A and B are shown apart, each in its own frame.
Chain A
């Protein structure tokens, strides 16, 4: 293939031409840009990776600013752009590279990584709203501890199984999951499952049963302490 014999500098120049045509929705080949990405990922070529970053940095900044979660973030677009490339680099390994046969597929995945980075920030902010400030400060001050984090994930699963064991019927399980795991309000639960809950009063009734059962449960008390 012609591209593989070209120098990086030549590839960069031809790639810029290709990208301009692509963004203008003009017919284009993607061999030159693709070769740069191939060298960066498959060959772990650092100069090629620097070229990928330079070539697509502007596009990713634009995507960050277009994303609906962007206004709620506390960092600037360059911060998130760096996180996007980090995530892309971690996800698109040499072994996975064959799954991306064209530059369009590469860019689509890069755009998905943009969404993923901003979505994680949105999820974290939603979770933080459920935590008292004291716990947030304590978590940020804690040293990273992989074992503790793993046990915490197992603990959450165990807690959920303990909750399910206390509940009776699909309606109670749905309310418990939608309210306690997904933090939906009763009106949102009714809108989500009108087949189970014709009125919001049905949700209040079932949720009260759920919370009353959990209050009385010795197993759940152990988790709370």
Chain B
């Protein structure tokens, strides 16, 4: 960090506050009263907010346990699944619980950086895709994707009403046990923004309603795997 005056490259102050600045930058900041004071301001604000907010919206440990054991009502299960998808702390705790319940005392809990594996689904060519037509026509906008042992059919061809429409999806596994994935969260994104969230039903179905024409990303979290279906064109 060699700015000529405070304010340049203030991102380094954030790295310093969180203990991630290199030693030379850290020494430079400590040696400059204005930068050091600004770092203290950032640290104070962050500390005050963290103390008040720490995991305030995380489910209790018993709720996570009931979720893992399948003891929650469907609506609460969906809520917990949606939270766990976005919360690395809860995801880590769930993985620790799974290992603990599996009676593997020597298996260590996994850290933040190793909690969900991302996979981009592959679009299957039409002649090779399974004969799945979600609305029964030969070319009804159904596209089929594959990720590992999971196949996902997306119907993006429904007619728009008032300029808006529905994307419907169906997931199945080679093992035929899609019902075990009931409640798994499915997220519809446009760019980095979350448009809608829903959950798989016990047959592997999901829908997103009232959508504007756009190019979307569909994301599913199944256990410790995040499957992304990119470039889902809708309504064009």
Interface residues of A (CB under 8 A from B): 63, 66-68, 87, 91, 99, 108-109, 111-117, 119-120, 123, 126-127, 130-131, 135, 153, 155-157, 159-160, 163, 169-171, 177-188, 191-192, 195-196, 200-201, 204-205, 207-208, 211, 214-215, 220, 223-224
Sorted from nearest, which 8 A-B pairs have the closest CB atoms? A204-B11, A66-B105, A116-B61, A112-B65, A156-B56, A191-B113, A119-B61, A204-B14
Enumerate chain A residues within 8 angstroms of B232, measured Cβ to Cβ.
none
Whether B112 and A192, one on each chain, are in contact in the complex, defined by CB atoms closer than 8 angstroms, is yes
B130 at interface, CB cutoff 8 A? no
Contact flag A156-B53 (CB < 8 Å), given A91-B62, A186-B20, A214-B45: yes
Nearest B residue to A205 by beta-carbon distance? B11
A206 → chain B, closest Cβ, in Å?
9
B98-140: which residues lie under 8 A (CB-CB) from chain A? 100-101, 105, 108-109, 112-113, 115, 118
- Knowing A120-B61, A215-B45 are in contact, say whether A157-B15 is a contact too (CB < 8 A): no
Contacts of A170 in B (CB 8 A): 192-194
A123 in contact with B61 given A170-B194, A192-B112 (CB within 8 Å): yes
Question: Given the known A-B contacts A116-B61, A123-B55, A159-B52, are A188 and B96 also in contact in the complex, defined by CB atoms under 8 Å?
Answer: no
Where chain B touches its partner, the secondary structure class is: helix
Q: Please measure, in the bound complex, the distance between the C-alpha atom of A126 and the C-alpha atom of B50, giving whole angstroms.
A: 11
Alpha-carbon distance between A87 and B48 when the two chains are bound, in angstroms? 32
> Which one of B14, B61, B68, B115 contacts A207 once the chains associate, using CB atoms below 8 Å?
B14
A178 to B46 CA separation, bound complex (whole angstroms):
12
* Contact, CB under 8 Å: A180 / B61: no
Cβ contacts under 8 Å, B109 to chain A:
68
B34-45: CB near A (< 8 Å → 1, else 0) gives: 000000011001
- Kindly list chain B residues whose C-beta atoms are within 8 Å of the C-beta of A117: 61
A181, B61: Cβ atoms closer than 8 Å: no
A97 to chain B, nearest CB (A): 12
Q: Cβ of A208: which chain B residues have Cβ within 8 Å of it?
A: 10-11, 13-14, 42
1/0 per residue, CB under 8 A from A, across B1-43: the answer is 0000000001111110011100000000000000000000110
Residue of B with least CB distance to A131 = B51
Which residues of chain A are within 8 angstroms of B57 by Cβ–Cβ distance? 157, 160, 181
With contacts A116-B65, A205-B11, A208-B13 known, is A180 near B56, CB below 8 A?
A: no
Central interface residue in B20, B62, B108, by most chain A CB within 10 Å: B62
Alpha-carbon separation in the docked complex, A155 to B108 (Å):
36
